[in-house]
Every structure is written in C-alpha cells, then in structure tokens.
C-alpha cells in the first residue's frame, strides 16, 4: 500500500512538472510581450525612495515593462501632496516622470479612510483603489503580474 501511494505521489509530481514546463514553454514563446510587474509599497518614504529608484533602473533595462505601483499603509505617503524625500526633493516630480513612462500608481482607499486622509490630498497621477492588498493580489492572480517589494 505504501508503494502504491509513492507511485501515485510520483505520478502527481510528474504531472505537475509537465504542467509547469508547458506553462514555461508558453511563456517563452511570448518574449515580445512586456513583462508586467507590481511593486508593492507599504513602509513609508524610505521604501518609496528605494522603490522608485528600482523602478527607474527597471525601465532603463526594460523600457517596454508594464509597471504598476500599489500602495497601502504608510506606503502611500509619497503619493500625498507636499511629500518630500530626506533631502527635501518633492516626490511629485518623480511620480510625474514615471507616469509619463507608463508607470501606474494606485493608492489604497482603506488606508485613506483609516488615517482620515482626504482623497484630494492624493497626487492626481494616482488612482484610488478600494484595497491595496486586494489590488496587488488581483494583479498577480488574474492579470499575470510579477510581484516585487523594494
């Protein structure tokens, strides 16, 4: 009986391996399609500075990349009016530049409500979504985005 379970488990593992290889093969045939990536910011201005640098480097290496930034918690701070980095440089100019390169910014409404931040304080380049974590999950599960944290 134990041997039979082993064979069944081995057959299942082999089937999963084949399915994975089939998926990898289909991905490799679409090499011209842009790679979709979601950057998830949750930890304030230092993380935002690091992440925005990562995105600039990402686009320099792969200008066709489709990048979406999803923010929640203190990760939204750089997308609020008047936000500046530790050197006093405003984030809005970086956000405008990246938006012009196709980067999409999304802000968690749950965070805005919890922190009592008026929606008018969010930079106009950003879209408010109901939930940041739900948005990041949806992009991964339904739209094939790769998930990165800065």
Summarize pLDDT for 84-141 with one digit per residue, the tens.
999 999 999 999 999 999 999 999 999 999 999 999 999 999 999 999 999 999 999 9
- Give the pLDDT confidence score for residue 62 in this predicted structure: 97
Has residue 58 got a pLDDT over 80?
yes
The closest alpha carbon to 150, from 40, 15, 59, 69, belongs to 40
Helix or strand holding residue 128 (H, E) = strand 126-129
- Mean pLDDT of the chain, nearest integer: 87
């Amino acid at each position: 009986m134990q041997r039979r379970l082993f064979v069944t488990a081995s057959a299942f593992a082999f089937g999963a391996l084949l399915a994975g290889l089939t998926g990898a093969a289909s991905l490799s045939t679409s090499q011209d399609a842009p790679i979709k990536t979601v950057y998830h910011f949750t930890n304030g201005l230092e993380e935002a500075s690091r992440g925005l640098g990562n995105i600039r480097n990402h686009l320099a290496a792969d200008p066709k990349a489709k990048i979406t930034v999803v923010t929640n918690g203190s990760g939204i701070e750089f997308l609020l009016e008047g936000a500046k980095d530790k050197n006093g440089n405003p984030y809005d100019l970086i956000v405008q530049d990246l938006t012009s390169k196709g980067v999409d910014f999304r802000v968690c409404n749950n965070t805005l409500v919890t922190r009592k931040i008026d929606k008018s304080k969010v930079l106009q380049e950003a879209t408010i979504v109901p939930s940041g974590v739900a948005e990041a999950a949806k992009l991964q599960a339904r739209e094939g985005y790769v998930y990165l944290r800065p």
